[in-house]
Structure 1
Amino acid sequence: MSYKEKIPPDFLYHGTTIRFLEILKEQGLVAGSRQYVHLSSDETTAIAVGKRHGKPCVFKIKNLLMYKRGIKNPLFWPYISL
């Protein structure tokens, strides 16, 4: 499959629950048993994801900056780890 490279949005968001905050600060965002780290294009969706399992918290990812530094993905932005 061939994809045309696209410039990503400035920011993407990862919604989780506050109980995972310290672990994520230590380990970063890691796919774990999933194929990719799930990121949202808007903060509202990320908050809704976090609310499913408790008090939400959201990581704001500097996606465009990562792209400019050479961390690229052609069509969508599912990262293995951050």
Structure 2
Amino acid sequence: TEIIPTQNIECFPVPATKTLTIRLELMGDKLFIYNVIGQKIDELILNQGTNELDLQNYSDGIYFFQFINTGITRKIIVKAD
């Protein structure tokens, strides 16, 4: 039996204002971002390590970040500075 390591994903700060840091421990991933009503508003490729996401064009609210390769979803709150 092959043991597959678990991807550790860190997203901070939450709530986020101008930027969100996404840290992927093991490998890169594809990220889909959805608004609170389920519309996909962005699609990104993330690298292993630290990624900075510019949130200045995002409205205040709740977003769902779906990491495609790992199947992990995180709820992210964006607030104006």
Report the TM-score, using the length of structure 1 for normalisation: 0.32
Report which of the two has the higher share of helix: 1
Of structures 1 and 2, the one scoring higher in RCO (CA 8 A, sep 6+) is 1
**Structure with a larger share of its residues in strand:** 2
